Amino acid sequence: MIRTEALSKHFQAGGRTIKAVDGLDLQVAEGEVFGFLGPNGAGKTTTVRLLTCLIGPSAGRAWVNGLAVGQADRQIRQQVGILTESPGLYERLSAQYNLAVFAELYGVKDVRGQVEKYLRLLDLWDRRDSEAGAFSKGMKQKLAIARALLHEPPVVFLDEPTAALDPEAAKTVRDFIETLRGQGRTIFLCTHNLDEAERLCDRIAVFQQRLIAVDTPDALRRRLFGRQTVVQLAPPADAAALRRWAAAVAGLPGVQHVEPLAASADDQERADRLIISLVDPPAQNPAIVRTLVAQGAEVQFVNEVKHSLEDVYLSLIHNGRAAGGEA
């Protein structure tokens, strides 16, 4: 659905060449919600502008819905919807008229029907005759989403769709993205909201001028941090017992590393812990528990350690290295 080969965009400024996008190789499947993550200035918006044919590439190639960027730009623009970070509405026109203008530009056959459909879907029908300038930021964002979808595009680019929205408006937008996923549309989502990316995206790419890594969030976690189990224990009589239990677990098959953590004085739970790196926690946890109990440890609970997407993102951005996976 979306494919790029060494896609690049360079700008000239003050006698210098600035590489906004540098050699991007990427594939996004039909019907996929694809998260594009990176810091400010990483080139995310430039990438969206390239793929929607708003600017031309300096080098490389790209295809959207089977159409080549630079060769079929008009057709691509007819088949994509785009939500920019700033909605850019006609603020003195009504919500209904804003959408009607763009529906006419897109060549929508049933203008009135499509306008009503999306105003109702996004809970704006009752405000259809209000000027867009009187809308809250959340309402403007919903109106801009409606504008991006009027012509029923198979590919939708969303650039920070919930930026600066209140929680209720952000949830409405996220729920609507889920609705789009259910319709089989391909969604290219640029966001700084990592929780949002975790909940919505099938795969994510971490990008900073160049592609650093691309995969599912869980696959990136495993690649970067492996799989870990935390075993919480009642405190032993002395630190030697904790070390003895750690050594017993370290000798089990499939255990890669054991880190004993003694309870500190300000630990409210007053529990000792073992952080255990494993090949397959569900299969190996029972043997770990049996071994600890046989050694006299009192096991309070066992959980798998789950690193957040923020941990994954920050590790990749700071290390600046690829984590593998198919692009």
pLDDT score for 269 = 56
pTM comes to 0.83
Give CATH for domain 224-305. 3.30.70.100
Give 49-100 pLDDT, tens digit per residue. 999 999 999 999 999 999 999 999 999 999 999 998 787 899 999 999 999 9
pLDDT score for 137 = 85
Least confident of 1-5, 42-46, 168-172: 168-172
pLDDT score for 7 = 97
CA-wise closest residue to 278 among 293, 307, 303, 257 = 257
How many Å apart are CA 311 and CA 198, to the nearest integer?
12
How many Å apart are CA 1 and CA 317, to the nearest integer?
27
- In three-state secondary structure terms, 318 is helix
Written as one string, the DSSP assignment of 53-86 is TSS--SEEEEEETTEETTTSHHHHHHHEEEE-SS
In which band, very low, low, confident or very high, does the pLDDT at 321 lie, cut at 50, 70 and 90? low
β-bridge mates for residue 148, sequence order:
none
Q: Mean pLDDT over residues 23-35, rounded? A: 96
CA-wise closest residue to 188 among 24, 37, 8 = 37
Give 106-164 pLDDT, tens digit per residue. 999 999 999 999 999 888 999 999 999 999 888 898 899 999 999 999 999 999 888 77
Give 249-284 pLDDT, tens digit per residue. 999 999 999 999 887 666 555 678 999 999 889 999
Kindly list the domain boundaries of the chain, sorted by start residue. 2-215, 224-305
Q: Is the pLDDT of residue 172 over 80?
A: yes
Q: Tell me yes or no: is domain 2-215 CATH 3.20.20.70.
A: no
Read off the tokens for 137: 């930021």
In which band, very low, low, confident or very high, does the pLDDT at 323 lie, cut at 50, 70 and 90? very low
Read off the tokens for 151: 């012509």
Read off the tokens for 116: 């009503």
Average pLDDT score, the chain = 90
Q: What are phi and psi of 297, to 5 degrees?
A: -80, 150
For 188-212, letters b (16+ CB in 10 Å) and e give bbbbebbebbbebbebbbbbbbbbb
